[in-house]
Structure 1
């Protein structure tokens, strides 16, 4: 088993879904690269893409079709101006053409060249898609791709995980591995990850990457608390973060992000206020995610508010502040995410919401426990506690949108993470009867037993009870 960098688990993304937006977007870029390896883009007459299974069933609400079109157009979701996404898609649909790879105009008719096939699943994975290029000489090139969670994409032959993975000095593929190496080397959890991340970059580069993630988190939260109105998609869900922020600050005016942050730090640190701020942070991020905003995928978009909320909490209402703690939080959180990725799943289409908010809550609990001074055993215990109380959580997005119940679930996941950290820091791991590895195994077994209706298909749970057609 190869290792995965923590920055493949925690990374810059775009809403509303890592598996249903970022994955198809990445797949489209991979298909463009495949065409370039075998032909020239100028040789292409037409391109077709068909989405199957969960990708099709919740495709409109998750922006899968949008991701496919923009990916084929050569757009990069890490840098695209998110305010222009709707106009770019509208231009493709109205012109009945698409600029392939940003270079070549080809005909593109929505519903003909792009199809959401809700009646069929591909055998390899619920999030399947097939891209096909027809060339001017009549030949064709076809490739299937599978979005396996967190923006990772695989084919039956080779995965994007393999492309970014390598072997670290001290490979950690389980909680037991982490404990073994920390004890053997006399290192803390985060120090061990510092060493392993040198397989990809220098320590200085790792620190810079982590602090860049932190800046993106603050940007996203600030943008989220600055936006009012109705979320897109047709459910008419009202944004709540801005009003909550305004109430908690007592109407205080702040001219920029940094002064807003300082204003938050100076607010009353009562239990009620802190609890509401944690929810505000999480709501702000997930409202941005639901609006095709730029967020931090950690480990998925549906759970993108949990780690920002817990990290913001640590930097505004605890003594565990500063760059060093921010870095160590993210390193440990990211490594916990890799354990779930390698031994279970971070795809809601495979494991339900336990694979998204559950994993993210476990990651955040571990990161917080690390900077609170917890031992390696306590860090692993915190992750175990957080996931234990997400086991069996279904993915049932109303209307196929990452809004109900997804947004509020991030607030709940953040609170659970903090509670898990507090329990673990006051406990002796030697007395724990359940290990993180056992919980990961249980989560995977639960995922395999879960009815498909509760795996991001909008065919069960609240998605049926609320009785709203996909928007």
Structure 2
């Protein structure tokens, strides 16, 4: 077996743990169920043995040069591209397949039409809304909230019980990720010697809460986001919401709301995730949620927008206010570059999620203090983000070839 990582996937492959992920994926393990603690061990064993056992039991040879990085080769369809080849005993290629990681955990195959993403249950199903304006029109015509519209759309694909179970599982994974991050100590892998700090923050905030000396809610918000992104940086399990690099914002804002705010919803996590999903679908359809395509505005910006709208809904916002909150959040993330130092999702990514979570809360509060009317629509800001991403230099799109990535001296 041979593998080639192209473009951004090649540039940040080591920092993102891609080699181990490729090997473990070939053994048949799934991101949702694999034990994260065993990923490195499985990959190391395969490399040491020079062999890999495939799901059906066949063992294949793993040469020393089984993995090749081609960061300067960008395939036309997407910058995150991977080619897998199977070779016969003479070294001739007998099968070659290319796949594209388009963001949010969605994968496209080179032989499929763009938009036919594996893992997307909605692929091939006509969406009930294709823009923010259409979503608001449906809400107004039917007297429904955005969460109710999204629930109706999702139950076209699965039963209501299955949907609720999936929402519960997503939130349980997110919440568990926060808890793990708040208790883990040490230094993050990768060579930058970045110390984990979420646990230290949690201890400090717990002591401050016992003394009752100040409102610590927004500091906990930051700690939650940092906890998730430290888990991601260390190879833990996170929910791609909308991406791994921006995975801390939505869990942090939801946990903050549940822990610190008066909420009337019986199942606030379900309401929150449905609204966030509705907003995220607009970015995925009309722009991008991939840092390799749009820079960090497509990752942290989209996550911030999703969380802002979802929080606004939880706090009683109308559909118009929710749309306004989502627009405010993205408007002030436009042009955000993706420049991870050493290709690692650590600097500036971890802090960026904490700041993004705070922006989401601020955007929701600002929208709630208005009546939902505003000059710039969510659709306009999404289109602007798309255009900005197209105009942005490739150096600032998750390639680690520009910005902080080249101006920070690696020690």
* TM-score bin (small chain): over 0.9
- Given that residues 146 and 278 in structure 2 are in contact (C-alpha distance below 8 angstroms), is that contact kept between their aligned partners in structure 1? no
Separation in 2 of the partners of 1:347 and 1:132? 25
Q: Which residue of 2 aligns with 1:349?
A: 292
* CA offset digits 1:10-42 (Å, max 9, x no partner): xxxxxxxxxxxxxxxxxxxxxxxxxxxxxxxxx
Are residues 1:218 and 2:175 paired?
yes
Separation in 2 of the partners of 1:172 and 1:318? 31
Q: Which residue of 1 aligns with 2:87?
A: 134
Q: Which residue of 2 aligns with 1:416?
A: 359
Q: The residue matched to 2:15 in structure 1 has which SS?
A: helix
- Given that residues 122 and 157 in structure 2 are in contact (C-alpha distance below 8 angstroms), is that contact kept between their aligned partners in structure 1? no
How many residues get paired?
Answer: 407
- Given that residues 130 and 142 in structure 1 are in contact (C-alpha distance below 8 angstroms), is that contact kept between their aligned partners in structure 2? yes
CA deviation after TM superposition for structure 1 residue 211, in Å: 1.9
Mapping 1:12-31, distance limit 5 Å: none
Which of 158, 169, 184 lines up with 1:227 in the alignment?
Answer: 184
CA deviation after TM superposition for structure 1 residue 162, in Å: 8.7
CA deviation after TM superposition for structure 1 residue 194, in Å: 1.4
Taking CA–CA contacts closer than 8 Å with sequence separation of 6 or more, which of the two structures ends up with the larger relative contact order?
1
Which of 375, 387, 399 lines up with 1:433 in the alignment?
Answer: 375
Which of 33, 51, 54 lines up with 1:79 in the alignment?
Answer: 33
CA deviation after TM superposition for structure 1 residue 321, in Å: 5.9
The alpha-carbon distance between structure 1 residues 338 and 163, as it changes in their structure 2 partners (threshold 3 A), is: closer
* TM-score, structure 1 normalization: 0.83
Separation in 2 of the partners of 1:67 and 1:333? 28
Unaligned segments of structure 1, at least 5 residues: 1-46, 252-263
Q: Which runs of 4+ in 1 moved over 3 A?
A: 135-139, 166-170, 266-271
Larger deviation: 58-67 or 96-105?
96-105
Which of 328, 333, 338 lines up with 1:390 in the alignment?
Answer: 333
- Given that residues 383 and 420 in structure 1 are in contact (C-alpha distance below 8 angstroms), is that contact kept between their aligned partners in structure 2? yes
* CA offset digits 1:280-304 (Å, max 9, x no partner): 1001111001111011210100011
The alpha-carbon distance between structure 1 residues 353 and 267, as it changes in their structure 2 partners (threshold 3 A), is: farther
* CA offset digits 1:222-243 (Å, max 9, x no partner): 1111100000111110000001
* Aligned Cα root-mean-square deviation (Å): 2.0
Are residues 1:123 and 2:76 paired?
yes
Q: Which residue of 1 aligns with 2:9?
A: 55
Q: The residue matched to 1:61 in structure 2 has which SS?
A: coil
CA deviation after TM superposition for structure 1 residue 188, in Å: 1.2
CA deviation after TM superposition for structure 1 residue 268, in Å: 4.8
CA deviation after TM superposition for structure 1 residue 102, in Å: 5.9
Larger deviation: 168-177 or 412-421?
168-177
CA deviation after TM superposition for structure 1 residue 76, in Å: 1.6
Q: Which residue of 1 aligns with 2:42?
A: 88
CA deviation after TM superposition for structure 1 residue 163, in Å: 5.8
Q: Which residue of 1 aligns with 2:269?
A: 326
Separation in 2 of the partners of 1:76 and 1:161? 13
Q: The residue matched to 2:207 in structure 1 has which SS?
A: coil
Separation in 2 of the partners of 1:140 and 1:365? 49
* CA offset digits 1:50-106 (Å, max 9, x no partner): 111111111101111111111112222211111112211111111111112361211
Q: Which residue of 1 aligns with 2:303?
A: 360
* CA offset digits 1:372-423 (Å, max 9, x no partner): 1111100000000000000000000001000000000100010000000000
CA deviation after TM superposition for structure 1 residue 330, in Å: 0.7
Separation in 2 of the partners of 1:222 and 1:90? 28
- Given that residues 147 and 275 in structure 2 are in contact (C-alpha distance below 8 angstroms), is that contact kept between their aligned partners in structure 1? yes
Are residues 1:199 and 2:156 paired?
yes
Unaligned segments of structure 2, at least 5 residues: none
Which of 101, 109, 112 lines up with 1:147 in the alignment?
Answer: 101
- Given that residues 400 and 406 in structure 2 are in contact (C-alpha distance below 8 angstroms), is that contact kept between their aligned partners in structure 1? yes
Separation in 1 of the partners of 2:60 and 2:131? 48
Separation in 2 of the partners of 1:387 and 1:440? 8
Separation in 1 of the partners of 2:396 and 2:142? 43
